[in-house]
């Protein structure tokens, strides 16, 4: 039997500082009612002096402990992030140092909100090939450092946090059944952060023009996301000969409660089978799925042999899914 990869441990971490909608009312022209109605978000966590790698470290420790794995037993560290500590070296390399993971490689993946699932696909294929036995995968963001706190259309959306999983080689029927990755670069400007790269390196002008913060076409993104996610989930289940009714849980990217509900309704899925924490954490980008996964695992909402579907949509535009037999 061919190798499979199985998640043997999960962990998550969010900063202590809570920023509520009522706090935002004092900073920008908005209201709790406006934010809640349009996004479903009530509060989000904000990092103080913590960096992205600091959040990674805490989530990783919890995932490794849950799996009973020591840092030195990990073959590879992958960090999915668009808000790393610095452009170079990778946040994964910094995490490697902080964990004292002596025997592993390390690199970052950037697919924005789809990043964790892109990283999951990479890790799964490394293990399926037989090249590696254990991989630590982390999704982490400090989005609060990259939003315009005077732009009410974006600053209310994002929060900070990290989630991690340990994947290990198995030969059984349980584990990751399939992963699916997609992108359409024609819509790159729907969600982007234009400054800081080779196109617009940091200058006084790029800072003045606010090019180092997230820009988003909200209405256009919403329409594409709902339509795309419905097809993504349907195609993923069809490829695996699984009916929607057989799913024990859908864990979606926590971008917007309206998108989550609209997708569930189109699939005739009850919300009781959908993991939701966007109200407490906001959009934590690549961290949202592993944080939600850790929560449902620790709450024992998924059990052995359950079918679990992960799905995400983000900048790029990118979208991705994974089907797991738990």
**Residue 253 among the catalytic residues:** yes
pLDDT recorded at residue 222: 86
Average pLDDT, the chain: 95
Tens-place pLDDT, residues 165-224: 999 999 888 999 999 999 999 999 999 999 999 999 999 999 999 999 999 998 899 889
Domains of the chain with CATH codes: 4-173 (3.40.47.10), 177-275+288-325 (3.40.47.10)
pLDDT confidence tier of residue 267, bands split at 50, 70 and 90: confident
pTM of the full structure: 0.96
DSSP SS3 for 289: helix
Rounded to the nearest 10 degrees, what angle do helices 288-298 and 52-67 cross at?
Answer: 30
Q: DSSP label at 293?
A: H
Q: Cβ contacts of residue 12 below 8 Å, gap of 6+?
A: 59, 62, 161, 162, 163, 164, 287, 290, 291, 294, 295
CA-atom Rg of the chain in angstroms: 19
List the catalytic residue out of 113, 155, 256, 277. 113
Q: Are 55 and 290 in contact (CB under 8 A)?
A: no
Task: In whole angstroms, give the CA distance from residue 114 to residue 150.
Answer: 26
pLDDT recorded at residue 261: 93
Residue 264 in this model has a pLDDT that exceeds 80: yes
pLDDT confidence tier of residue 97, bands split at 50, 70 and 90: very high
Q: Are 263 and 229 in contact (CB under 8 A)?
A: yes
Average pLDDT over residues 250-263: 94
The string of DSSP codes covering 83-141 is: S-S-SSS-HHHHHHHHHT-TT-EEEEE--GGGHHHHHHHHHHHHHHTTS-SEEEEEEEE
DSSP SS3 for 278: helix
List the catalytic residue out of 21, 56, 96, 253. 253
Residue 306 in this model has a pLDDT that exceeds 60: yes
pLDDT confidence tier of residue 14, bands split at 50, 70 and 90: very high
Q: What are the tokens at 22?
A: 């009522």
pLDDT recorded at residue 238: 95
pLDDT recorded at residue 263: 87
Q: What are the tokens at 84?
A: 């790393």
Q: What are the tokens at 99?
A: 């964990």
Q: Are 166 and 9 in contact (CB under 8 A)?
A: yes
**Hey, which residues does 312 pair with through a beta bridge?**
320
DSSP SS3 for 14: coil
Give the pairing of strands 160-170 and 4-13.
antiparallel
Residue 1 in this model has a pLDDT that exceeds 60: no
């Amino acid at each position: 039997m061919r190798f499979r990869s199985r998640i043997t441990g999960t962990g998550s971490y969010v900063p202590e500082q809570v920023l509520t909608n009522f706090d935002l009312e004092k900073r920008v022209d908005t209201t709790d009612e406006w934010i809640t109605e349009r996004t479903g978000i009530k509060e989000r966590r904000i990092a103080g002096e913590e960096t992205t790698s600091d959040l990674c470290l805490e989530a990783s420790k919890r995932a490794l402990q849950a799996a009973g794995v020591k840092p030195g037993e990990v073959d590879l560290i992958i960090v999915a992030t668009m808000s790393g500590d610095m452009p170079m070296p990778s946040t994964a390399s910094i995490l490697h140092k902080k964990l004292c993971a002596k025997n592993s490689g390390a690199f970052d993946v950037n697919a924005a909100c789809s990043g964790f699932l892109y990283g999951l696909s990479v890790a799964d294929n490394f293990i399926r090939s037989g090249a590696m036995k254990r991989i630590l995968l982390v999704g982490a963001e400090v989005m609060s450092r990259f939003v315009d706190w005077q732009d009410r259309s974006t600053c209310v959306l994002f929060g900070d946090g990290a989630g991690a999983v340990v994947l290990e080689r198995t030969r059984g029927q349980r584990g990751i059944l399939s992963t699916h990755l997609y992108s359409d670069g024609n819509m790159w400007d729907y969600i982007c952060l234009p400054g800081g790269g080779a196109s617009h390196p940091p200058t006084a002008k790029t800072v003045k023009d606010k090019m180092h913060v997230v820009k988003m076409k909200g209405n256009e993104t919403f329409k594409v996301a709902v339509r795309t996610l419905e097809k993504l989930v349907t195609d993923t289940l069809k490829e695996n000969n699984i009916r929607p009714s057989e799913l024990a849980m859908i864990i979606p990217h926590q971008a917007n409660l309206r998108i989550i509900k609209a997708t569930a309704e189109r699939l005739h899925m009850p919300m009781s089978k959908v993991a939701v924490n966007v109200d407490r954490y906001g959009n934590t980008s690549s961290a949202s799925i592993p944080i939600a996964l850790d929560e449902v695992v620790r709450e024992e909402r998924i059990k052995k042999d359950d079918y679990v579907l992960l799905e995400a949509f983000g900048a790029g535009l990118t979208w991705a899914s994974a089907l797991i037999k738990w």
